[in-house]
Chain A
């Protein structure tokens, strides 16, 4: 079965640089979620989109922005990167008629040096 695709899988950036993470949800899934997982931590919700509109916002820094495009893929844009932004970033997708069960992608490991 098709899964959530994330790219790139690994990304190394320097402080103050910008990063863009991409997420391709499972076909026919209408909701995308972004989570951040620091080392040894549980995933923390950042932001979600339903049918290309932002539906909820969590602890996402103002330096981060995200959007969902007409083909349902989503991008997380991160500017003025800080050392503390180093983490695993997961995208998950769900389908309204399937009770919003969220399926996660493999993640993007961002390292800020």
Chain B
């Protein structure tokens, strides 16, 4: 069974304190790994898609990396507005493109 595990469940940072979120996955065959940001009561906001081990993508203070077993979302010098739940999801070969999500990491950045 395809599994996605995110850690930590919650992370509290001070403004400017860099850190990383982890997403480990066990799937039969990975087509793509997705990162989303979700604010309370709102739809997930697309951040990145990674397709192969070694791939990296950046957007503002966020950088996503991918290995054969896990992905990291690095947050550099976070600001309070980065506070949100960050969801990781996998798209598995043969699954007709549906996403299987992890439970998410709730990030809180204090000023």
Contacts and interface: CB of A to CB of B under 8 A. Distances in A.
Say which size band chain B's interface belongs to: 20 to 34
Contact of B96 (A44, A55, A105, A106): A55
Given A104-B44, A107-B43, A99 B98 contact: no
Contact of A43 (B41, B97, B101): B101
Given A42-B101, A58-B98, A103 B46 contact: yes
B45 interface: yes
A97 to B, nearest CB: 13
26 contacts: A4-B43, A31-B97, A35-B99, A42-B102, A42-B103, A45-B98, A50-B96, A55-B96, A56-B95, A56-B97, A56-B98, A90-B43, A92-B99, A99-B49, A100-B31, A100-B91, A101-B34, A102-B34, A102-B46, A102-B97, A102-B99, A104-B46, A105-B43, A106-B43, A107-B41, A107-B43
Interface in B61-85: none
Contacts, number: 63
A92 B51 CA distance: 20
Given A101-B34, A102-B34, A42 B104 contact: yes
A109 B41 contact: yes
A76 interface: no
